[in-house]
Structure 1
Amino acid sequence: MDLKISYSSKGIENEDVEGLIVFLPEKSDTRAAGLSDLPENLKKIINTAVREEVFNGKTGSSQRLITGSAKPSQLLLIGVGKKEELNPEIIRRAAGGAGKALACSKLKSIGVMLSNVLSTSSSKECGQWISEGLQLGAYEFKSYKSSENNSPKNLKVRILDKDALSSAKAVKLGALRAVSANLARTLGNTPANDMNPGKLAEEAKNLCKTEGLKYKVIEEKEMKKLGMGMLLGVSQGSITPAKLIFMEYRHPEAKDTLAVVGKGVTFDSGGISLKPGKSMDEMKFDMCGSAAVLGAMNAVAKIKPKLNVIGVVPATENLPGGNAQRPGDIVTAYNGKKVEILNTDAEGRLILGDALSYTIEKYNPVAVVDLATLTGACVVALGHHATGALSNHSGFMERIRQAGEKSGDRVWELPNFPEYGELLKGKYGDLQNIGGPAGGTITGGKFLQHFVGDTPWVHLDIAGTAWNVKYVDYHPANGATGVGVRLLIDLISEWRPLN
């Protein structure tokens, strides 16, 4: 469902909406929740529900109530838990639960009450958290459903802020952040027969054309001239050519350039080192790093930060065709290193390596961050609620960590000790593309470090957070999460020179 979210400084009595969302803390009536401006009939209904324990306000709780009036005809009470524990992520998740309820609703318009309980700081950002959560929660991927339910496809949402607790700018920004993450979700959810490297390049080209960004793509013929043996090696098992995609945002006053690189394996069978059949259908999600880059660039074009941003996507399929790369092959990377291929299913680091070294040489960024569904080992280590991170620069890593905390795309830094690099030394070449079963997420990141030189760099392994994440109310029950988009938006929006 598409929510048309807008801001209003009026009260509910001056708005023509069919329903009203009210956020309530645990065991709080309308007075305790800062909702004294509600019409008396609505306060009575809510207070009765609280008093009779129809609704308790605990985190994750919700209750739909009929008002007996024409407008609003329904109330949707959403619990936000204990007042003293409220924070932006709790509010965002509560709004996500409300968004999921709206996706099943037949209402065409709804108001959302802001209250001083929700304004946990003086920054007036609560409108952003709510609009972001609502839009994320209402997301549905129905492009391939032959029959639709009777719910309206569009719903008008008015954020009601009579007490000026937030702003129209905050509400608009929250919606943009969510729409950009939802773009990444849709790219990730699209099946591989409709989202191959060529289709992904078309999506990037169309985005750049619409938003006024510069677009460039390197085709396989040029890759061969440039010596991108790692990217070409992964691609050679597929009849669909690889693409190296660039999206450029430039600001006339910017002094710094940030590069954002996303793994774009549109389907990963494992190649000759074939994956097990179970859940192989989910390997369409192996391009979620690239989807995050497109989602972030969509937002960057509209936010217009004073920072040059280069979005980079190495896009390919990893298939076991007759010409596929073999275990034991040795390829030459763009930066000249000789790499032994011990396992063709460790392909993401290969395509990222060529993309990283070329991007750094060509664009000279002050920092680079890559996002990749790189290792199953990251899921074992961290589960589905933290993205793994590896870095060569503590200051840049801290920026990423802070952006993750603020956005809800949380990250956890892993050790980058030099001893892990010893596991990647090749027998016959400079490097081998796997380091054995121990510390797989770290050695995957250490491999990439060979292609960034001294440039400040953070690697984000999103294998556990990119799809099918449970217990987060603004994420869909199944499918891509859009992880990384909101983190990148926060990182870019608040950019300042690195020390």
Structure 2
Amino acid sequence: MSVRIQPIQFTTDCKDQNFDGIILITQNYEQLPNELECLKAPLQDYSAVDCCIKDEVVVLRVPGLPGNRLVCSCTGPVNRDYDDVRRFRDAAANGIKRALKAGLQRPLLVCPPNSSYAKNTLVAVLGALHVLYVPLEVREHKSSPHKVATLGIWVKNKEQGDGIIELANALESGRFVYRDIGGSDPERMAAPRVAEYVQSVFKDSPVKVTVVSNLNTLEKEYPCLAAVNRCANAVPRHQARVIKLQYCGEGPIEQTLMLVGKGITYDTGGADIKAGGIMAGMHGDKCGSAAVAGFFQILAKLKPKHLKVVGAMAMVRNSVGSDCYVADELVVSRAGRRIRVGNTDAEGRMVMVDLLCEMKEQALQEVSPHLFTIATLTGHAIRAMGPKYSIIMDNGAARRAGNDLEWQKAGEVLGDLFEVSTIRREDYEFHKGKSEYEDILQANNLPSSATPRGHQTPAAFLIMASGLDQHGVDSAKPQPYSHIDIAGSSGPFPGVPTGAPILAMAAKYLKL
């Protein structure tokens, strides 16, 4: 499986006749740089008869420009207290949608640099590329894998063009893999087929892939994951896979990232079934694992030095049937903690917790390790922060290092935004066993959206059930750990996954 993203190329000439139309992304066409002076007069003329030019995408006929067409998509204000670089992304997305309707096949995206946002042109390119993505199932049944022949990018000089092309290709390649896995339907990306896809993508790359499929191994090494898999395991095409990835950059390793992704290929809710029409869209419950694979694809393209990254994708279907796990069951985690199941729809924390424990064990041998879980985990994350923001929660060691605020700042570079939440003592109390039978309660009997602190408590559960609570700031060997909930930011249903949070990860760890 080759990753064939939308072809892109740059030009320093806005009148380059290799293209068939211009898409202008700007805050104010009156303040265009000298190189784009030819675009100003037609826009001034148009604005004299239509004042909506600043609020709507418009198409003008301008002789002399590529294809005699100019699509103008204004960002609106970008310098108010609450503005951010997403203005450029959104304007580019709207512009490319209008260009497609106008029939452009070789559009030239023109987004002049902005003094307040160092990466605004790159962000605009990524916004256009998001619209141009063709879903995997569509590509497999159409002769053409792309919506346009090429996407052009106007730049001031070759150096800028080379840099944007390299980064755009790498970042979009990662989002491409993310969307293929996270957005495809639960049969096309059932766990065994995800494993096949990942192995194909990283063949002959710097990323090493190992797949664990043996049921006895899963039951022994990852008992909580095996409990969720128990029902699906009866159907061979739905059987669980643990996909492990490793990248090791050149030179002495200075930092090690250890990522665990939730990969629920379909979430019925299990015995606590998602009733009332809320099951639709649950094929997207694998976007945490999709993010892990997508970030490794960026690593494979950019090949950063001095960085080691270890990943684990927990690919499991939460099926319902006579052999499904149920509330009241006791499951002993890899860390030896007795867990009382409270709600089978809280399966995401179950499939990740033993892999997190394994990472914790391995971290003791790594250089400057930081552990992460990435998951579309809770509806509460959407209720608390809205549908477009990732949430990061640090344990004590990570928080003392200022990690959460660094992630938030990194996310602002490319418009992959974060809100910061804090794990409190009440979250740990919530998950303490309620009887002498169990050490830990997995969940209560309510949806997370109806549970106070519904997105914070699962982080405490993961820390407790994995044994990470033995590596807090009061221990001899503290281990930094962060839980990232992307339930809101991973994308809409129906719709195409966004790629969150891999742009923020790239901005932070690859120093973009």
Q: TM-score range by the shorter chain?
A: 0.7 to 0.9
Distance 1:388 1:14 in 2: 43
Distance 1:147 1:119 in 2: 44
8 Å Cα contact 2:23-2:107 kept in structure 1 = yes
Distance 2:379 2:143 in 1: 36
* Residue 76 (structure 1) aligns with: 71
Equivalenced residues, count? 477
Distance 1:55 1:175 in 2: 34
Task: Give the gaps of 5 or more residues in structure 1.
Answer: 470-476
TM-fit CA distance, 1:430: 0.9
Q: Deviations over 1:218-277 (max 9, x none)?
A: 224353564421011010011232211111111131232111211001011111111114
* Residue 316 (structure 1) aligns with: 316
- State which of 463, 470, 480 in structure 1 corresponds to 2:487: 463
Is 1:445 the counterpart of 2:497? The answer is no
8 Å Cα contact 2:170-2:302 kept in structure 1 = no
Distance 2:348 2:143 in 1: 39
Distance 2:283 2:417 in 1: 23
Is 1:420 the counterpart of 2:411? The answer is no
TM-fit CA distance, 1:323: 1.5
* Residue 385 (structure 2) aligns with: 382
Distance 2:36 2:267 in 1: 55
Question: Which secondary structure does the structure 1 equivalent of 2:203 belong to?
Answer: helix
* Residue 261 (structure 1) aligns with: 260
Describe how 1:116-155 pairs up with structure 2 within 5 A.
116=113, 118-120=114-116, 123=118, 125-141=119-135, 143-144=137-138, 153-155=147-149
8 Å Cα contact 1:2-1:155 kept in structure 2 = no
8 Å Cα contact 1:25-1:33 kept in structure 2 = no
CA RMSD in angstroms, aligned pairs only: 2.8
* Residue 474 (structure 2) aligns with: none
Distance 2:207 2:7 in 1: 25
Q: Deviations over 1:380-437 (max 9, x none)?
A: 2222022222211212222222222223222222221112211111121110101463
Question: Which secondary structure does the structure 1 equivalent of 2:231 belong to?
Answer: coil
* Residue 244 (structure 2) aligns with: 246
Query: Is the alpha carbon distance of 1:103 and 1:372 closer, same or farther for their aligned partners in structure 2, counting shifts above 3 Å?
Result: farther
8 Å Cα contact 2:92-2:127 kept in structure 1 = yes
* Residue 282 (structure 2) aligns with: 283
Q: Deviations over 1:177-232 (max 9, x none)?
A: 13321331232221111211111111221122143311112224353564421011
The structure with the largest helix share of the pair is 2
Deviates more, 1:297-306 or 1:393-402: 393-402
8 Å Cα contact 1:20-1:111 kept in structure 2 = yes
Question: Which secondary structure does the structure 2 equivalent of 1:323 belong to?
Answer: coil
Query: Is the alpha carbon distance of 1:152 and 1:482 closer, same or farther for their aligned partners in structure 2, counting shifts above 3 Å?
Result: closer
Identity of aligned residues (%): 23
Q: Deviations over 1:12-44 (max 9, x none)?
A: 234422111222324x43xx22255444xx543
Question: Which secondary structure does the structure 1 equivalent of 2:60 belong to?
Answer: strand
8 Å Cα contact 1:19-1:111 kept in structure 2 = yes
8 Å Cα contact 2:219-2:226 kept in structure 1 = no
Is 1:367 the counterpart of 2:367? The answer is no
* Residue 473 (structure 1) aligns with: none
Q: Deviations over 1:88-111 (max 9, x none)?
A: 322222222223334445222122
Distance 1:13 1:206 in 2: 41
Deviates more, 1:272-281 or 1:166-175: 166-175
Q: Deviations over 1:449-495 (max 9, x none)?
A: 122343211111111222218xxxxxxx7242222121222222139
Query: Is the alpha carbon distance of 1:277 and 1:203 closer, same or farther for their aligned partners in structure 2, counting shifts above 3 Å?
Result: farther
TM-fit CA distance, 1:442: 1.3
- State which of 385, 393, 404 in structure 2 corresponds to 1:397: 404
Distance 2:457 2:502 in 1: 25
Q: What amino acid is aligned across from residue 120 of structure 1 in structure 2?
A: S
Deviates more, 1:272-281 or 1:151-160: 151-160
- State which of 497, 503, 508 in structure 2 corresponds to 1:480: 497
Is 1:493 the counterpart of 2:505? The answer is no
Query: Is the alpha carbon distance of 1:416 and 1:71 closer, same or farther for their aligned partners in structure 2, counting shifts above 3 Å?
Result: closer
Task: Give the gaps of 5 or more residues in structure 2.
Answer: 446-450, 472-477
- State which of 8, 12, 15 in structure 1 corresponds to 2:14: 12
